[in-house]
Structure 1
Amino acid sequence: MARRPTIKDIARGAGVSESAVSFALNGRPGVSEDTRARVRRVAEELGWQPHHAARVLSGERCGAVGLVLARPAHTLGVESFFLQLVSGVQEVLSAGRTALLFQVVEDIDAECAVHRRWWAERRVDGVLVVDPRTRDPRPELLARLGLPAVLVGGTGEPVPADSPPPLSSVWADDARAMAGVLRHLHGLGHRRVTHIAGLPGLAHTARRITSLRAEARRLGLPEEHVRSVPTDYSDAEGAAATRRVLAEPDPPTALVYDNDVMAVAGSAVAAGLGIPVPGRLSIVAWDDSALCRVTHPRLTALVRDTAGFGRLAAEELLALLAGGPPRARESELPRLEPRESTAPPAAAY
């Protein structure tokens, strides 16, 4: 194994003392600008990097942020949302030479344990927290640890200026987007709509369900005709839920899915049952993807820049680490893109 270059190697290559190398690399006075430039050039040629443990012990930032995902592992391989989100996060972090420490765990308790371990080991300078819960222990834990964090998909409520540590939030208005979906379907003539929802404990799932019910009341639709059915976001549960609701005596004429994978699975179930889309069933997918655009018929979907959402979250975390104030930043409102999977319902089902 090749030996890592040391400060002694740099001193020998630059023709200066080891203390001069330390002054030059740490930006401290005591050496001329010419010497500083020569030392840094030699360090770069040798491929020298500061020792992580030494930097941490000296009180410097470790140059990494963390992201823990508490989702069933089998639901991640087919869902594009997190891949796009992480690509946006990584784009910003790479530009700032900040590493992303990523881990997948089974549940929220395991995620809290990871945060505690990262804090104790000083592995990260801050964390991105995804999938806020309706009863979420993570903000209190992070405040107690003093670990800066950004809640990705928060409520948009103002963050207290004296929050210890700074907890920021980036969010999109899921409630307004869901209301817009129901208004679109209602305008087409649909009066029986079922929402094939995601995990029930997630805050954004609760917001969508609440918004759907409120908009249904505003439109004068009976409560039993507009409802939500929770799933785990997987294609298997999305298909099973679709099969159940379509087998009911008065099945829905429109289905709204909480992700693209379930919407595609639901479309396949309808085809297998001989129910034409959109002739007898309209389908809407949350978060557009290539799947929605290549499926036949192409699926009506809510479109947003998911990578841009990730970039916004990473920018906010870096701003916190630079000493900026905590704040809530709103991302773009998801926009409904009507395609071939939605149409007025048939006169008789």
Structure 2
Amino acid sequence: MSIVSAIKLSRIPGSAFLALGLFWGSFAAQVPSLKAGLGASDGVFGTLLLGSSIGLVTAMLIAPRVDARLGAHSMQTAALLVALAMLLPGIISVPWGFFLVMVLLGFSAGLLDVLMNTRVSDLEAATGRPLMNANHALFSVGYAVGAVLAGLGREAGLPALMIFAGIAAIMVLVVLGLRMQPAAEEGDDPVGTQSPFAPVMLCGLVVLVAFGAEATVEAWSALHIERTLQGGAAEGAMGPATLGLTMAFGRFAGQAVSQKFRETNVVMVAACVSAVGAVIAAMAPTPVVAYLGFGVLGLGVSVIGPLALGLVGKLVTSRQRSRAISRVSIVGFSSFFFAPVLMGWSSELWGLRVSYAGVAGTLLMAVPLALMIRGLQARRAPRGA
């Protein structure tokens, strides 16, 4: 299936992926200025980012209920919440207030994340075509564009509020086209809607490894370039922008690769490639070499999360899908609980170079997890699951 066909088929949730990427990219590019405005150390700022994790996990716990209650309007509601919440980081300048803002941002973004991934998984089940990588690529495109625009805005002296307001306006426009009915729960399912433990946990841990690596680069790449490598604001913004662009390329390529190669094999190779990228970023003597490292990391890590989310959708029944994706997202996004904190405090103790070396070691954990998922697929195949 071509990339263009995949995007057309999933254009409604795809627009949500694109818009959410715009916001997180602009946020990542403004981390140095937001941190400076708060007057927070690396460790304290990493702890403040923990607020988004609390909001994310809370939203993911209730997302299936919200979806059941609001139906076709659930994505629209979540996107509107994101648009309103993204104005707040440009206003709040005290640490405790920023923490509460991150909770609200995490909640609204987490709700939209589960809903849009569920809609894509519904489309995959209905059409029999892989769509996850193409949609996550749209997120990465939005992320890269948002980071570049925010970096240029910072370089021109625009306040954070004005940059966030522009992204919020785009999100409001996207809301109008996000009406989409969830898939009907057809057939007699004797196991009900409860998600089986093994697929959720194994796929969730793979997503955790991938999202943890993404989160550290998103939140700390600009600071690594500007502080460790003495780059300017625009150069710092190119860190998350490079990640976003290469992740977009990797996910578009993954759309084709996932049709030709076994998903677990792709996950293992991608984990090794992304670990090499993290090492390059850790050892980089100049911003250009750091961009290379972030690019290699982005290419590798780009396909890991979408493939794991797609895998769990195939390992459960249609009635279990929404709850399973919600649970996998909770496990995966729990990386935001410890990734920002560990990155912040390890940076404060040993520096960002050591922190990125730690990211490389974490990425390699996806290899044994993929092997266990392969074993689970083999055991379930005879039963037609």
Q: How high is the TM-score relative to the length of structure 2? A: 0.26
The TM-score, its normalising length taken from structure 1, stands at: 0.28
Structure with a larger share of its residues in helix: 2
Greater CA radius of gyration, 1 or 2?
1
Q: Which has the higher contact order (CA 8 A, sep 6+)?
A: 2
